[in-house]
């Protein structure tokens, strides 16, 4: 193993004089190659961090998982509604602190299912016993267990350090100071050797670095047990070896590590402490990886010389059904329990010597290396932080992300460009009768373009963010309500900057109404209409799983709202005209802005007399702007329009939150 620089927290503390000569305690981090690094973590902080990670033995006994699959998915001609499928069949094992255990087997054999089950995720249909030390799984243990998903799910615009910092601030407990949380981030950066990409946005780092960031995100809370789903997939062999070395170092700190892995190199394969080989949800080997070939040889399956043992094992289980069946039967015959006795009388002692014993299932036989209670008391609470700090941190993250995605050069150019083009199209309109329809169409453009644009942004928001949020929430990071409120508070103001710039430019170029108060009121309506549209977009994005369905629904709803709003058809069927138009949020903002535009006694000149009655046959006459309003189909007054829009905003937001909370849009696999 190359000389790796691994940081090991020692019990030592030293007094360090700061420049101001004040005495300050620091934690000494000893590097394995002899260097010493001073990380400014307080002694209390180091104690809190190390208390987060008691040593845990994971024991599972006869764990099975059966699911009901819609029958039509398997056999389109089936008359049944559901067919039962066994994903795991009586799998047993025990994994101790300090061990790195590999789960291997052909694709679809149940590796991810076993990892999910052991980690307490997707527990429906699971039978059997799972213990952490001597305690059964409880949701409150979540923070002691880390799960590194196969996919590296992040907000990729954040840098590596920002990602780790937000996670540390959110997930480390309240009683740890901010400085200690940041020190923990620094330590993880060094431990996982990602210092050189610490300030690089995640979307630009290499696959191996991204995987380490993924692991680092889970390690920040100093978990006791780490589950990893195919952490080396997509990595070249050097990166894969480096990653497994990191896992080995973590195990040396007393962590229990269980990882699924596909076709590891010979070096990686031999480095595991235990190999659990599955086929069709059943165990076919559980023992030392270096004994696997000898075990299969007792059944007459000999590996060619110089062959990677991992490849041979995988070829064997992938070959054909009959060999898989033979291996499953052989394991059932040969397996032994913790007291060393064989379960079957037909067992072969030649084969048995290579197998690790299965746990007996008696609670009395469970081991408890650090005799501590793994379930936090009520006082410690379900969440690491209370609502407000959680929301403020999420707000800051949302603000940063929205700023990066909304205030781009492209978006700014789009807004300014369109503002100038529309300003030129409606340039310096006279206050005369023939500009009435152009003035109303300006308001229509204003009240549709930005709301439509923002609605689409809102629509795409959850489909892209959902997987990251689900991952973070699955590890107990924060409340959904904190996330949702933070997102609403942080994104709103940023999404309103460009529309405001647009209005400032185009409004005055078009000469809508020189009264500054009117300008401000129209601005308010434009911004409220945008927030309502965004809320509707969020609702559709949260409620509909499939992005394509959500976009289709949005298109149908928007066009329908415009049509029933009476913008294109003057003579709607009575029932549609009376009831339908009140559903259209475009109508409220449009009506209000039209009233604002023509508010007051501004004098307009008559031109051809085709619209205003008093102008007929009197082209040199004048009329007051408010007289023009009777020629438009104006509904309720300005104030009411405002209240209805605010009501719609809260209704759509609340429904979006409920949809996010209660509509099950995930696949059920994790």
Ligand X SMILES: Nc1ncnc2c1ncn2[C@@H]1O[C@H](COP(=O)(O)OP(=O)(O)OP(=O)(O)O)[C@@H](O)[C@H]1O
Which parts of this chain interact with ligand X (CB under 6 A)? 67, 69, 87, 105, 107-113, 668-669
Q: In terms of CB distance, is 127 or 481 closer to ligand X?
A: 127
Q: In terms of CB distance, is 172 or 284 closer to ligand X?
A: 284
- Least distance (Å) from ligand X to the CB of residue 122? 8
> Is residue 166 within 8 Å of residue 393, measured between CB atoms?
yes
Helices 516-543, 547-564: inter-axial angle, 10-degree rounding? 140
- Least distance (Å) from ligand X to the CB of residue 668? 4
DSSP 176: S
Q: In terms of CB distance, is 145 or 366 closer to ligand X?
A: 145
Q: In terms of CB distance, is 41 or 119 closer to ligand X?
A: 119
Distance CA 396, CA 293 (A): 54
- State the residue for tokens 């209000």: 592
CA-based max dimension of the chain: 114
- Least distance (Å) from ligand X to the CB of residue 654? 30
Distance CA 13, CA 20 (A): 20
- Least distance (Å) from ligand X to the CB of residue 277? 11
> Is residue 129 within 8 Å of residue 61, measured between CB atoms?
yes
- Compute φ and ψ for 9, nearest 5 degrees: -75, 125
Q: In terms of CB distance, is 110 or 457 closer to ligand X?
A: 110
- State the residue for tokens 């010493």: 36
- Least distance (Å) from ligand X to the CB of residue 308? 18
> Is residue 316 within 8 Å of residue 327, measured between CB atoms?
yes
DSSP assignment string, 200-264:
SBGGGS-HHHHHHHHHHHHHTT--SEEEEESTTTT--HHHHHHHHHHHHHHHHTT-EEEEE-SS-
Return all residues near 520 (Cβ < 8 A) that are at least 6 apart: none
Q: In the Cβ-directed half-sphere of 255, how many Cα atoms lie within 13 Å?
A: 27
Q: In terms of CB distance, is 110 or 451 closer to ligand X?
A: 110
- Least distance (Å) from ligand X to the CB of residue 262? 6
Q: In terms of CB distance, is 147 or 588 closer to ligand X?
A: 147
Q: In terms of CB distance, is 101 or 459 closer to ligand X?
A: 101
Q: In terms of CB distance, is 230 or 433 closer to ligand X?
A: 230
Alpha carbon 300 to its chain's center: 48
Q: In terms of CB distance, is 125 or 389 closer to ligand X?
A: 125
- Least distance (Å) from ligand X to the CB of residue 99? 20
On the 0-12 / 13-18 / 19+ scale of CB atoms within 10 A, 643 is exposed
Return all residues near 237 (Cβ < 8 A) that are at least 6 apart: 265
User: Taking the CB of residue 514, how many other CB atoms lie within 10 A of it?
Assistant: 11
Distance CA 190, CA 168 (A): 15
Q: In terms of CB distance, is 105 or 120 closer to ligand X?
A: 105
Distance CA 336, CA 59 (A): 15
Distance CA 393, CA 182 (A): 14
On the 0-12 / 13-18 / 19+ scale of CB atoms within 10 A, 220 is buried
- Least distance (Å) from ligand X to the CB of residue 146? 18
Distance CA 510, CA 446 (A): 12
DSSP assignment string, 301-332:
-PPPTT--HHHHHHHHHHS-HHHHHHHHHHHH
- Least distance (Å) from ligand X to the CB of residue 212? 21
Return all residues near 537 (Cβ < 8 A) that are at least 6 apart: 454, 455, 456, 457, 458, 459, 460, 461, 554
Distance CA 140, CA 138 (A): 5
- Least distance (Å) from ligand X to the CB of residue 321? 15
Residue 286 parent element (H or E): strand 282-287
Extract the tokens encoding 472: 């973070």
The SS3 call for residue 411 is helix
- Least distance (Å) from ligand X to the CB of residue 234? 13
- Least distance (Å) from ligand X to the CB of residue 229? 7
Residue 398: which region, alpha, beta or left (left: phi > 0; alpha: psi -120 to 50)?
alpha
The SS3 call for residue 358 is strand
- Least distance (Å) from ligand X to the CB of residue 274? 17
Q: In terms of CB distance, is 108 or 637 closer to ligand X?
A: 108
- Least distance (Å) from ligand X to the CB of residue 494? 38
Q: In terms of CB distance, is 69 or 203 closer to ligand X?
A: 69
DSSP 94: E
Q: In terms of CB distance, is 400 or 466 closer to ligand X?
A: 466
- Least distance (Å) from ligand X to the CB of residue 71? 12
- Least distance (Å) from ligand X to the CB of residue 309? 19
Q: In terms of CB distance, is 86 or 614 closer to ligand X?
A: 86
- Compute φ and ψ for 44, nearest 5 degrees: -60, -45
């Amino acid at each position: 193993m190359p000389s790796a620089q691994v940081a090991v927290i020692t019990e030592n503390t030293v007094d360090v004089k700061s420049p101001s000569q004040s005495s300050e305690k620091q934690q000494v981090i000893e590097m394995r190659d002899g260097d010493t690094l001073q990380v400014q973590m307080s002694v209390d902080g180091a104690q809190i961090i190390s208390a987060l990670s008691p040593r845990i033995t994971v024991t599972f006994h006869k764990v099975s998982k059966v699911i009901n699959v819609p029958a039509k998915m398997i056999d389109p001609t089936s008359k049944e509604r559901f067919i039962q499928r066994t994903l795991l069949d009586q799998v047993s094992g025990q994994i101790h602190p300090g061990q790195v255990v590999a789960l291997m087997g052909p694709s679809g054999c149940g590796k991810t299912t076993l990892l999910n089950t052991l980690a307490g995720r997707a527990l429906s249909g699971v039978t059997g016993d799972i213990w952490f030390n001597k305690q059964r799984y409880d949701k409150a243990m979540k923070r002691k267990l880390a799960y590194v998903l196969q996919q590296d799910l992040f907000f990729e615009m954040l840098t590596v350090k920002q990602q780790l910092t937000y996670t540390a601030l959110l997930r480390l407990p309240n009683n740890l100071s901010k400085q200690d949380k940041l020190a923990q981030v620094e330590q993880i950066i060094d431990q996982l050797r990602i210092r050189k990409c610490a300030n690089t946005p995640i979307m630009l780092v290499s696959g191996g670095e991204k995987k380490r960031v993924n692991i680092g995100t889970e390690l920040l809370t100093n978990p006791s047990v780490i589950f990893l789903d195919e952490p080396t997939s997509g990595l070249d062999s050097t990166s894969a070896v480096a990653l497994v070395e990191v896992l080995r170092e973590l195990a040396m700190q007393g962590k229990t590590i269980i990882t699924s892995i596909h076709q590891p190199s010979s070096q990686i394969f031999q480095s595991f402490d235990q190999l659990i080989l599955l086929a069709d949800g059943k165990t076919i080997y559980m023992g030392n990886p270096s004994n696997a070939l000898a075990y299969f040889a007792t059944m007459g399956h000999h590996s060619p010389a110089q062959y990677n043992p991992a490849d041979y094992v995988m070829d064997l289980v992938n070959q054909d059904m009959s060999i898989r069946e033979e291996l499953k039967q052989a394991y059932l015959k040969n397996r032994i329990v913790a007291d060393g006795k064989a379960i079957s009388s037909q067992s072969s002692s030649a084969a048995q010597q290579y197998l690790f014993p299965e746990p007996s299932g008696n609670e009395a036989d469970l081991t408890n290396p650090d005799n501590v209670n793994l379930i936090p008391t009520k006082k410690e609470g379900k969440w690491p932080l209370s609502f407000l700090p959680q929301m403020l941190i999420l707000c800051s993250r949302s603000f940063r992300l929205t700023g990066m995605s909304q205030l781009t050069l492209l978006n700014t150019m789009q807004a300014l460009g369109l503002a100038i083009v529309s300003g030129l199209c409606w340039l310096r309109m006279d206050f005369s009768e023939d500009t009435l329809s152009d003035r109303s169409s300006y308001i229509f453009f204003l009240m549709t373009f930005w709301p439509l644009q923002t609605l689409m942004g809102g629509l795409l928001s959850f489909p892209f963010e959902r997987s990251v949020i689900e991952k973070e929430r699955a590890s107990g990071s924060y409340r959904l309500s904190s996330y949702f409120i933070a997102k609403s508070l942080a994104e709103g103001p940023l999404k309103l900057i460009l529309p405001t710039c647009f209005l400032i430019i185009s409004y005055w170029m078009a000469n809508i109404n020189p009264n500054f108060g009117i300008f401000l009121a129209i601005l308010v309506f434009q911004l409220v209409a945008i927030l309502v549209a965004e809320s509707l977009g969020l609702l559709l994005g949260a409620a509909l799983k499939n992005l394509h369905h959500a976009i289709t629904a949005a298109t149908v709803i928007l066009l329908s709202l415009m049509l029933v709003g009476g913008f294109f058809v003057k003579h709607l069927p009575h029932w549609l005209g009376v009831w339908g138009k009140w559903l259209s949020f475009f109508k409220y903002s449009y009506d209000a802005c039209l009233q604002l535009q023509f508010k007051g006694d501004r004098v307009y000149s008559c031109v051809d007399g085709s619209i205003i009655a008093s102008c007929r046959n009197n082209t040199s006459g004048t009329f007051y702007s408010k007289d023009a309003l009777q020629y438009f189909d104006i509904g309720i007054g300005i104030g009411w329009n405002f209240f209805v829009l605010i009501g719609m905003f809260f209704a759509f937001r609340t429904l979006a939150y409920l949809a996010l909370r209660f509509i099950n849009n995930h696949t059920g696999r994790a």
